[in-house]
Chain A
Amino acid sequence: MKAPAFNRALRQLVALPIVLLVLLAGFVFWQIESATRAQRELDHSDQVTAQLQELLNLFIDQETGLRGFQLTADPLMLAPWEAAAGPIQSHLANLREMLTTDTTQEASLSELEGRYNQWLGFARAVLHEDPSALKAAGVNQQGKAMMDSVRATTARMLRHESDLRETKYRLAQRLQRQQLISLVVSAVVVGIFLALFTWHHVRAISASYQRRISEITERSEQLSESRLWFQTTLESIGDAVIACDVGGRVKFTNAVAQKLTGWTLDDAMGKPLETVFHIVHENTRAIVENPVEKVRRLGQVIGLANHTVLIARGGREYMIDDSAAPIKSGAGEMIGVVLVFRDVTEERRIQGALVASEKLAVAGRLAASIAHEIHNPLDSVANLHFLLREEDDPEQRAEYLRMAQQELSRTMQISRTMLSLYREPKAPIQVELRELIEGVLLLLERRLQNQEIRLETDIAGDLTVEGFPAELRQVFTNLLVNAVEAAGPKGRIRIRVEHADAGEWQGAGAIIEVADSGPGIPATTAKNLFQPFFTTKGMQGTGLGLWVSMGIVQKHGGSITLVKSTEPDLPGARFRVFLPARTLTQLAGTEQQNESAA
């Protein structure tokens, strides 16, 4: 039962008995009213009877008075006559008034009055006669007959009234019985109805109430269960989680967060986030902006600055990787901020080791290719030396010496390139990009020739960037070796180096683009391209080349991206490297610290 239905049922439960009781009261009132009316009718008959009785007595008094006077001729005897005359008139008037509704009695009353007036006329005549004549028998007879007819009429009226009363009485009796029965019946019916109605409604309401109660209980159980579930989940995940309210006060920390920050939940509860989550920049040691502030400012998920170090309560430091996100209410209002972070100290160490191992692998591969490059001219020189020893013809000797010189120059050039590859300055220096890339191409020249790859270069002169030449050489060697492998025999590679203007996101610098005519990189591969240990070359690749390249480029403040090829004759991969003309000066320091950490 829903809330409106529940309320309706409650209203019905109260209103219906009231309505029924009002109806019942109305019914009872109506019955009392009819009983009263019947009683009044009875009273009316009684009054009429009483008036008639008195009237009869008064008639007798008058007649008696008249008789006495007839007998004695003493005017004193007329006293009763005199006394009755007034009351008789008033009784007659009363009766006239009372009998207006009863035509039979009204007619009888008129008859009675007529007869009485006749007798009265006779009586008055008698009183004015000579008293001696009064004793005549004829007069007496006449008077008696008149009075008898008055009495007879009165008696008839009395009888009639008595009959009327009897009828009324029986009617009243019947009415009373009927009233009693209907009262009892209606009371019983209403009672039963109310009982049934109330029972039904109370039962429905009670059931619904029970259901509501059990629903609420269940819901609260579910709620506490899901709360427990979420808590357990948050506790169990390997990442550290801190939740704050909008004011930046800590509301929750999971076990990992407690371990990393060194604050127990009880201690941390309600504390400002920056107290519990004390983060500084790895190199500058500057305090990093409070993530709650940043989320509140931006209203979206943020990744915190790289190189963040968390200083735990006990002073221990962890390198962390973290993100912060707003907690939003159903209405979309921000009600808090959740921070997720993890300890990447070990990961960083491993990354450092990987970078070093890739450096070694690159060095190894380079050494092999250099050995190959040097052995060819060395072989020629050794052979020429043998020939020179046995040759006497000066012209032929000169030719041999020229050849030897040619091969020696080649060896020297390769050796110089190799040396510059391993002589790395401590601080970034100005690197002439054309020179750097031509140096890389020189080492790959033979490979390109072997594969008959057509190389197009479009290198703007005088472009310099600040950086570490050996590392940059490593980047372009990687990109070019990949391009050679992708392009395959008789393929094409294009290297373009151009100036990049300062934009909104970056300063001025150079863009180096390496495009090949190979099959291109499928989208599925592309998204993993810069991940460590990702390789498409099977056992031939370490899977670290592009990952390390990206690290190097990023260290220089630049970016490396795979861009979509738009030219049909160079459909393969196209890598674009941006290098800013000036790197951040602090990077020099950063690099050294990283090296020593690794």
Chain B
Amino acid sequence: MSLPRILCIDDEALGLQIRRAVLERAGYQVLTAIDGPTGLSLFRGNEVDGVVLDYYMPEMDGGVVAETMRRERPQIPIMLLSAYINLPAEVVAMVDVTLLKGEGPQELLEKLRSMLETRSNYPSEAHARGGAV
């Protein structure tokens, strides 16, 4: 069984580094990007099983990144992270899960797991790849 690969995008360098450590500790492979455009190019160049995306970022915010990803590969699940309570409704509708920053790592891991599980019921890249990695 291959390790699920998660793309993590956040402009907070320290926060991103710590989140990567948490996810790796939980057994995920993690790709990190410090802004939207870097994240999108990693998304295009790599097979990923899910995306953990920060909403509030300079230049290209999480909403725009999520929209682009949905257009290109709609089957990839996206979790949107934010310190804001009042996220725009259309952005919330677009992603699979939202998580408020500060809810804690357990919550993060639990929601991520359930997101990936829900998605795995459908044909997904992870299944298509089988155990190749």
A interface residue numbers (CB < 8 A to B): 368, 371-380, 382-387, 390, 400, 403, 406-407, 449-452, 489
Contacts and interface: CB of A to CB of B under 8 A. Distances in A.
A377 B108 CA distance: 15
Interface stretch (B18-26, B39-47, B111-119, B122-130): B18-26
27 contacts: A371-B83, A372-B56, A373-B83, A375-B100, A376-B12, A376-B101, A379-B15, A379-B19, A379-B101, A379-B102, A380-B15, A380-B19, A382-B102, A383-B21, A383-B22, A383-B108, A386-B22, A387-B18, A390-B25, A403-B14, A403-B17, A403-B18, A406-B14, A407-B14, A450-B56, A450-B59, A452-B59
| Residue of A373, A376, A403, A489 contacting most chain B CB atoms (<10 Å) | A376
A371 B82 CA distance: 11
B46 to A, nearest CB: 23
B26 to A, nearest CB: 9
A380 B25 contact: no
A450 B102 contact: no
Interface residues of B, number: 27
Most buried by A among B11, B12, B56, B101: B101
Interface string B41-72: 00000000000000011110000000000000
Contacts of B21: 383, 387, 400
Q: Which 6 A-B pairs have the closest CB atoms?
A: A375-B83, A450-B58, A386-B105, A379-B101, A378-B102, A372-B83
Contacts, number: 78
A544 to B, nearest CB: 21
A203 B84 CA distance: 98
B121 interface: no
A468 to B, nearest CB: 30
Most buried by B among A371, A372, A383: A383
B84 A368 contact: yes
A382 B81 CA distance: 15
B58 A375 contact: no
A374 to B, nearest CB: 8
Given A387-B21, A387-B22, A376 B105 contact: no
A407 B104 CA distance: 15
Nearest to A406: B14
A1 to B, nearest CB: 86
Nearest to B84: A372
Contacts of A452: 58-59
B85 A489 contact: no
Nearest to B104: A382
A391 to B, nearest CB: 8
Contacts of A403: 14, 17-18
Task: Name the residue among B11, B56, B59, B83 with the largest chain A CB count within 10 angstroms.
Answer: B83
B59 A489 contact: yes
A510 B100 CA distance: 43
A403 B84 CA distance: 23
A376 B84 contact: no
Choose among A384, A386, A449 the residue with the greatest number of B CB atoms under 10 Å from its CB: A386
A406 B17 CA distance: 14
Contacts of B100: 375
B104 A386 contact: yes
Contacts of B59: 450, 452, 489
Contacts of B105: 382-383, 385-387
Interface in B92-113: 100-106, 108
Contacts of B17: 403
B38 to A, nearest CB: 15
Given A368-B84, A387-B25, A452-B58, A375 B18 contact: no
Contacts of A386: 22, 25, 104-106
Contacts of B14: 380, 403, 406-407
A375 B101 contact: yes
Contacts of A382: 102-105
A406 B85 CA distance: 25
A374 B100 CA distance: 12
Given A386-B106, A450-B57, A451-B58, A376 B18 contact: no
A403 B19 CA distance: 12
A345 to B, nearest CB: 39
B93 to A, nearest CB: 21
Contacts of A407: 14
A379 B10 CA distance: 12
Contacts of B104: 382-383, 386
A233 to B, nearest CB: 53
Nearest to B24: A387
Contact of A376 (B15, B25, B58, B106): B15
B88 to A, nearest CB: 13
B23 to A, nearest CB: 9
Contacts of B19: 379-380, 383
Contacts of B83: 371-376, 379
Nearest to B20: A383
B12 A371 contact: no
A401 to B, nearest CB: 12
Nearest to B106: A386
Contacts of A489: 58-59
A383 B15 CA distance: 9
Contacts of A390: 25
Contacts of A377: 15
A373 B82 CA distance: 11
Given A382-B105, A387-B105, A450-B11, 7 more contacts: A368-B86, A375-B102, A376-B12, A382-B103, A386-B105, A387-B18, A407-B14
A378 B83 CA distance: 10
B39 to A, nearest CB: 16
B78 to A, nearest CB: 18
A405 to B, nearest CB: 12
A379 B102 CA distance: 4
Contacts of A371: 83-85
B22 A449 contact: no
Nearest to A490: B59
Nearest to B15: A380
A403 B15 CA distance: 9
B11, B21, B86, B108 — which one has the most chain A CB atoms within 10 A of its CB? B21
A438 to B, nearest CB: 22
A385 B25 CA distance: 13
A406 B15 CA distance: 11
A478 B19 CA distance: 35
Contacts of A451: 58
A379 to B, nearest CB: 4
Nearest to B108: A383
A450 B84 CA distance: 15
